[in-house]
Amino acid sequence: MPTLKEISGRPEILAPGHRMCAGCGAPVVVRQIMKALREDEHVVVGNATGCLEVSTTIYPFTSWRCSWIHNAFENAAATLSGVEAAYRSLKRQGKVKAEFKFIAFGGDGGTYDIGLQSLSGAMERGHKMVYVCYDNGAYMNTGIQRSSATPLGADTTTSPVGKVIPGKTRPRKDLTEIMAAHNIPYVAQVAPSHWNDLVTKVRKALDADGPAFINALAPCPRGWRYDSADTIEMCRLAVETCFWPLYEVVDGKVKVTVKPREKKPVRAFLEAQGRFKHLFEPQNERIIDEIQAIVDAKWANLLARSEQA
Amino acid sequence: MGKRVALTGNEATALAMRQINPDVVAAYPITPQTDIVQYFSQFVADGQVKTEFVTVESEHSAMSATVGAAAAGARAMTATSSQGLALMWEVVYIAASLRLPIVMPVVNRALSAPINIHCDHSDTMGARDSGWIQLYSENAQEAYDNLIQAVRIAEHQDVRLPVMVCQDGFITSHGLDSIEILEDAEVQRFIGELKPSYPLLDPEHPVTIGALDLQNWYLEHKRQQAEAMKNALRVIPEVAAEYAKLTGREYGYFEKYRLDDAEIGLVALNSSAGTIKAEIDELRNSGVKVGLLKPRVFRPLPAKELREALLHLKVIGVLDRADSFSAFGGPLFTEIRSALYGAQIPVLDFIYGLGGRDFTMTDAGNIVEKLAKVARDGKVEEPITYYGVRE
């Protein structure tokens, strides 16, 4: 496990001066992920359209101190699979000598929804890349529209709380399990509150002999409606309530990597955010129970499958 | 040099791809392009190419991966038809706007709906404003020759634009033809080494590709793209001249067939040109002064040269194997009329052959007869007609 001192000494690949919102989880996730790279490793980043892309590369500026490509919204994985194929071809021909790693970043919209086919194809084909979804649970870039990663009950601009409908009516898609079902060498869920767990997992993903998928929680102060100073606290609550379990799937074997000392009720996570405020009105309390039931079932399932640590 | 072989258009295309030996091919099968992908897969399986072959899960990903590979610094190709090109659409524009020298054979097929697997040009005509260079091919020989030249055109420093090489689905792609091919080494010498501009895989010079480009720069970048297309007008004949030295086969912006002393002119793309040439020979024997202009380069549009080649005619019939649904004729018609702006020549549009409807010498003769009447009477009753349609 790396120490904080070691990690903080490693180069910052995402330069300051970008225009992400104060308190945004995404650049925190990106910086921690890039800290898993060794100094002798070069990296090409593929970025789906989204907050991270638009805010870090406003021409003629860029925050990326590595090679970076944005193609479109739904095709970060396909684009990077082309880059990686080119690398294998040119390396074999002796035209490229340096060691390169390949990391894709997409939000939940670009990954769970519009980019799912592209991602699935790239993983099945076995391209050696780490695909990172920074999951903030909605289309934040276009103004907080629901995605398939949006939790049950959340108030978004396309699942608004109205007189008859109390926010999003469907539970979230479990993308991490979908990726695990691709039987790729490495799949993990991470949160930047647990930086040590995160960096360790990303290193495993980079060293995997094949594709790897990382689902990273990246709270959005505007979309979730909390104070921008509390981003890491939101992550901690998500982990401690088991709303966002930290686990990995290595060659099909599940391992829960962080077990909360005391599993908090999911209310603790929900009540901290404005997007769930309406759930605490008496007529909507049943939705909290539903969310709790979903969280409990998932957590029990993970523990049952997890190797005894 | 100059080995003669019997190949279909798709076989000739796959052969040219093997001889080009790209670093990366990312492709998805679709009728009638499918056997290009199959033949190429076999070349990969037999170790005949150095190519990394990416068997993508859709055409959208085919073009996306090809863009990634080209941006990385690889010579990258894909191939498609019809719905496949339609699914790629978004990324087709991106490939051109990122100035990536991708080469893509397109086997022309009608677009849905209704679903139809046969030839027309609605697929590539829809992509005519995507910023790609478009070369059209009458037969397997031209499909082969255009593909090899396309690499040089695309990768020229003053151009840096992707190129589509179009041929007619089934008619050309699956028809056996006698063609002359080059040796592998001759193709390699002709195309040379790719010198990538700003590759992602240069460890010393990291680059940002595909940045957000707002009001203060977007217009300048589009202007540069337009300039590259203008430069292609200069580069395409230069490449053709070099290719002619190697092969003896001459390629211009277009081919003129018995046009210079003609009074009646036809304009048609791809395989129908062959049918029309045969009919022209018959008609010439009976004294009808008819000729053909077959565009090879549709994007960029060599408007000045088209005008010069057509200006002496008494009447022009444009054959459009696609409709633009503008209620003002097909895409070739509007371009030819625009090139002839101000000239007092009647130009008629014949929208024909949609969805693979057969086009015979008799059909060509019927169209010439209609044009001859316009030339005689000086009257155009209806400039835009759907040839052979059951009304």
**Which three-class secondary structure state does DSSP give residue B253?**
coil
Query: Per-residue pLDDT averaged across B335-359, rounded?
Result: 98
Global pTM?
0.98
Does the distance separating the beta carbons of B203 and A42 come in below 8 Å? yes
- Please answer yes or no on whether A71 and B68 come within 8 Å at the CB atom: yes
Alpha-carbon distance B78 to B67, whole Å? 10
* B35 three-class SS: helix
pLDDT in tens, B179-223: 999 999 999 999 999 999 999 999 999 999 999 999 999 999 999
CB spacing of B210 vs A90 below 8 angstroms? no
Instruction: Name the band, by pLDDT with cuts 50, 70 and 90, for residue A309.
Output: very low
Residues A116-127: tens digit of each pLDDT: 999 999 999 999
Average pLDDT over residues A207-235: 98
Cβ contact (<8 Å) for A81 and B213? no
Domain boundaries, chain B: 3-247, 254-386
pLDDT tens-digit series, residues A59-118: 999 999 999 999 999 999 999 999 999 999 999 999 999 999 999 999 999 999 999 999
Say which residue the tokens 């970043």 belong to. A105
What is the reported pLDDT for A307?
75
Q: Is the pLDDT of residue B1 over 60?
A: no
Find, among B7, B30, B231, B206, the residue nearest to B111 by Cα. Answer: B30
Chain A residue with Cα closest to B65: A82
**Which residues of chain B lie closer than 8 angstroms to A70, CB-CB?**
209-211
Task: Determine the average pLDDT of the residues in A256-260.
Answer: 97
For testing contact with chain A, the best of B208, B214, B217, B221 (most A CBs within 10 A): B208
Distance CA B79, CA A160 (A): 44
| A255 φ, ψ (degrees, to nearest 5) | -140, 120
For residue B5, which of B141, B168, B188 has the smallest C-alpha distance?
A: B141
- Cβ-Cβ contacts under 8 Å, A47 against chain B: 210
Q: Which two tokens stand for residue A120?
A: 């699935």
Tokens of B242: 């070099």
Residue B61 to residue A86, Cβ atoms within 8 A: no
Q: How far is B64 from chain A (nearest CA, A)?
A: 5
The domain segmentation of chain A, as residue ranges, is 4-305
- Selected for mutation to probe chain B from A19, A59, A93, A102 (highest B CB count within 10 Å) is A59
pLDDT of residue A7: 87
CA dihedral B169, B173, B176, B177 (to 10 degrees): 110
> Which residues from B are below 8 Å from A57, CB to CB?
208, 210-212
User: What is the dotted CATH code of the domain comprising B254-386?
Assistant: 3.40.50.920
Query: Any residues with CB less than 8 A from the CB of A191 and at least 6 apart, and which?
Result: A197, A198, A216, A217, A235, A236, A238, A239, A244, A246
Span B3-247 CATH architecture: 3-Layer(aba) Sandwich (3.40)
Q: Which chain A residues have a beta carbon less than 8 Å from that of B74?
A: 85-86, 89-90
pLDDT interval class at A308 (50, 70, 90): low
Residue B179 to residue B4: CA distance in whole angstroms? 6
Tokens standing for residue B338: 């625009």
Out of A64, A100, A121, whose CB is closest to B57?
A121
Chain A residues in contact with B28 (beta carbon < 8 A)? none
Q: Distance (Å) from the C-alpha of residue B55 to the closest C-alpha of chain A?
A: 8
Q: What gap in Å lies between CA A55 and CA A45, rounded to an integer?
A: 15
A277-296 average pLDDT score: 98
* CB-CB contact of B23 with B76 (8 Å): yes
Q: Which of B20, B21, B24 is the best substitution to test chain A (most A C-beta atoms within 10 A)?
A: B24
Nearest residue of chain A to residue B210 (CA atoms): A70
- Mind listing the pLDDT tens digit for each residue in A139-176? 999 999 999 999 999 999 999 999 999 999 999 999 99
Which of A37, A54, A87 to mutate against chain B (most B CBs within 10 Å)?
A87
Report CA-CA distances (Å) from B247 to A39, B2, B155, B177: 52, 7, 21, 18
Q: Are B36 and B12 in contact (CB under 8 A)?
A: no
Cα–Cα distance measured from residue B70 to residue B154, given in angstroms and rounded to the nearest whole number: 12
Smallest CA–CA separation between B253 and chain A, in Å?
32
H-helix or E-strand spanning residue A125:
helix A116-125
Taking the CA of residue B68 and the nearest CA in chain A, the distance in Å comes to: 5
Interstrand relation of B290-295 and B208-209 (parallel, antiparallel or unpaired)? unpaired
Q: Which CATH number fits domain A4-305: 3.50.50.60, 1.10.3720.10, 3.40.50.970, 3.40.50.720?
A: 3.40.50.970
Helices (H), A218-284: 221-224, 231-240, 267-270
List, in order, residues 6 or more apart from B360 with CB less than 8 Å away: B275
Alpha carbon separation from A296 to A142, A241, A293, B387 (Å, rounded) = 32, 9, 5, 68
* Cβ atoms within 10 Å, residue A277: 15
Contact B292, B269 (CB under 8 A): no
Q: What is the residue-averaged pLDDT of chain A?
A: 97
For residue B96, the distance in angstroms to the closest alpha carbon of chain A comes to: 12
CB-CB under 8 Å, B94 with A89 = no
Q: What is the pLDDT of residues B137-157, one digit of tens each?
A: 999 999 999 999 999 999 999
Dump pLDDT digits (tens) for B368-380. 999 999 999 999 9
ipTM of the complex: 0.97
Which of A43, A62, A90 should be substituted to probe chain B, the one whose Cβ sees the most B Cβ atoms within 10 Å? A90
8 Å CB contact of A75 and B58 = no
Helix (H, G, I), strand (E, B) or coil at B223: helix
Cβ atoms of B138 and B272 within 8 Å: the answer is no
Asked whether the beta carbons of residue A79 and residue B64 sit closer than 8 angstroms, the reply is yes
Q: Quick check: B91 pLDDT over 90?
A: yes
Pairwise CB contact (< 8 Å): B23 & A58: no
DSSP assigned state of B108:
E
Supply the mean pLDDT for chain B. Answer: 98
Yes or no, beta carbons of A93 and B26 under 8 Å apart: no
**A-B contacts at Cβ under 8 angstroms:** 164
DSSP track, A41-85: -EEEEEE-SSHHHHHH-BTT---BSSEEEE--SS-HHHHHHHHHH
- Could you give the CA distance from residue B173 to residue B31 in angstroms, rounded to a whole number? 10
What value does the mean pLDDT take over residues A203-221?
Answer: 98
pLDDT at B62 over 90: yes
Asked if A78 and B64 come within 8 Å (Cβ–Cβ), the reply is: yes
